[in-house]
Amino acid sequence: MVSKLDPWGAVHVDDYSKLFEEFGISSFDEILPELKDPHPYMRRKIIFGHRNYESVLRAMREHRPFAVMSGFMPSGRAHFGHMMVMNEIIWHQQQGGDAYAAIANMEAHAVRGISWERCRSLGINEYILSLIALGFQPQENSHIYFQSENYRMRDLAFELGIEANFSEVSAIYGFSGETHLSHMESVMAQSADILHPQLAEFGGPKPVVIPVGADQDPHIKLTRDLAYRTRKFLVEQREGYISIRGKAASTSLMQAAEQVLRQGDFGKVKRYEEHIDVTDIQDRQGLADGTLREAMDQLIIKLETVHGEYGFIPPASIYHRFMTGLAGGKMSSSRPESHIALTEDPKEAAKKIMRAITGGRQSLSEQKKLGGEPEKCSIYEFLVFHLSDDDNELLELDAECRSGRRMCGTCKKDVAERIQRFLTEHQQAREAARERLPEFGIKD
């Protein structure tokens, strides 16, 4: 539904549009029309940006393998912000993807000093039970895992460490001479979390999307760079042709690549010492929209894996907006009054809603005159993000509030009831999920 009011577009988008120019994140607006049945977060512009999500979209559409992966640091209580990532993982699994959820206990232990035991308990009780309750399914290539127990990932982290040097990683994470080695190792673990679904034992190279908050983009950028660096070839789109650059590829590998490209019958193939150009391309459309480059890359990746290389595809990512804290400012795990935990007592949650900051005016009469400001209201935001399935309902609410016909008390009571109901049901589902932990290979 297209609407002029765009009641979910306005919230803090200004802050985020900077990310597009400064960091090279693409706007999700261009992708949205391509999705048949987008997730409400996409429709409501909560997911506002992406890197290379086209690769995932095409795989989804053509029923080729793809995966979704994200991670949770077990350092405190899981709240509605974390639930967004969980829902995004589950949605992609439901679209046919493999799904991976890491409990980042190496990171929590190394960076936050949380004991292994506590990491385990927080991992299960805060994150894993909710993931299962929300619909994460056990499947052949879908895993919920603790970083410390995933040795394929850890081996990959060690290998990736060869490609990352101290000065670039310091520039990204602000490391100094005081930073200890395990902290650095946990950074490589995160890159390996992201790339390991592409290892041969998990089905090989495939597009993988990482749903995260925008603050996690530096990790994504680094991991995309590392993926490029492990490749033997770079398949690059040029003006009117495609160039395949060998990166210290042996002569025999260059010859093999040339052969693969000739067999593909894309156009005229000419091999030079360190690159191969494909010109006179017939499929102009494919050249223009990038699908031809992708098709060639798939052949080259296949070739690389046959020769024992990783052939990683740079991971894609999607970025969601953060919810505002209930007391204003950011929603944060470390400030209980700012968030509602998924394990929160439903009555307590209702009270937090009743105390929350709204977009209401100083006085009742002023509100009747001027109308409320839903774009500044943490209660309205809860509806947009989580507690209303119905876009029309939101449009009506938005209009009623702005026109001064609806007062904050009514809204708060309504949302407080909804959140109580939601949490009661979710917490029951969590108890049922506890019984199912063994299906996911997790011992309670």
Residues that bind ligand TRP (CB under 6 A): 70-71, 73, 102, 104, 107, 190, 193-194, 210, 212, 216
Query: What is the token pair recorded at 413?
Result: 């009571």
Q: Which is nearer to ligand TRP, 42 or 318 (CB)?
A: 318
Bridge partner residues of 146 (DSSP): 103
- Using CA atoms, how far apart are residues 78 and 174, in angstroms rounded to an integer? 26
Cβ 127 to ligand TRP, closest distance in Å? 10
Beta bridge partners of 145: 102
Give min distance, CB of 386 to ligand TRP, in A: 20
At 202 the three-state DSSP class reads helix
* Residue 231 C-beta: closest distance to ligand TRP, Å: 21
Nearest approach, Cβ of residue 211 and ligand TRP (Å): 8
Cβ count within 10 A of residue 115: 11
Say if CB 243 and CB 254 are below 8 A apart: no
Least Å distance, CB 73 to ligand TRP, is: 4
Our CB check for ligand TRP shows the closer of 196 and 361 to be 196
Instruction: State the nearest-atom distance from the C-beta of 97 to ligand TRP, in Å.
Output: 15
Q: How far is the CB of 259 from ligand TRP (least distance, A)?
A: 37
Rg of the chain over CA atoms, in angstroms? Answer: 24
Q: What is the DSSP string of 112-130?
A: H---HHHHHHHIIIIIIHH
Judged by CB, which is closer to ligand TRP: 105, or 358?
105
Are 311 and 301 in contact by the 8 Å Cβ rule? The answer is: yes
Neighbouring CB atoms inside 10 A of 288's CB total 11
| Least distance between ligand TRP and beta carbon 119 (Å) | 12
Nearer to ligand TRP, 220 or 442 (CB): 220
Q: Closer CB to ligand TRP, residue 88 or residue 375? A: 88
Q: Which amino acid is at 258?
A: E
Residue 41 or 233 having the CB closest to ligand TRP: 41
Q: How far is CA 194 from CA 117, 173, 338, 353, in A?
A: 24, 17, 30, 36
Nearest to ligand TRP of 190, 198 (CB atom): 190
Both tokens of 366, joined, read 């002023």
Shortest Å, Cβ 10 to ligand TRP: 27
Q: Closest residue to ligand TRP, Cβ-based?
A: 71
Least CB distance to ligand TRP at residue 70 (A): 4
| Encoded tokens for 440 | 């996911």
Geometric angle at alpha carbon 227, from 235 and 183, rounded to 5°: 165
Residues in the chain, overall count: 444
Nearer Cβ to ligand TRP (76/205): 76
Helix axes 291-306, 53-61, angle to 10 degrees: 90
Looking at the Cβ atoms of 190 and 358, the one nearer to ligand TRP is 190
Which residues are paired to 319 by β-bridges?
49, 212
* Contact partners, residue 275, CB within 8 Å, separation at least 6: 243, 244, 245, 246
Give the number of other Cβ atoms within 10 Å of residue 359's Cβ. Answer: 20
Judged by beta carbon, residue 51 or residue 402, the one nearer ligand TRP is 51
**Residue 322 gets which letter from DSSP?**
P
Paired residues of 181 in beta bridges: none
Smallest distance, ligand TRP to C-beta of residue 103, A: 8
Nearest CA-CA partner of 322 in 333, 337, 307, 310: 333
Q: Which residue, 70 or 388, is less far from ligand TRP as judged by CB? A: 70
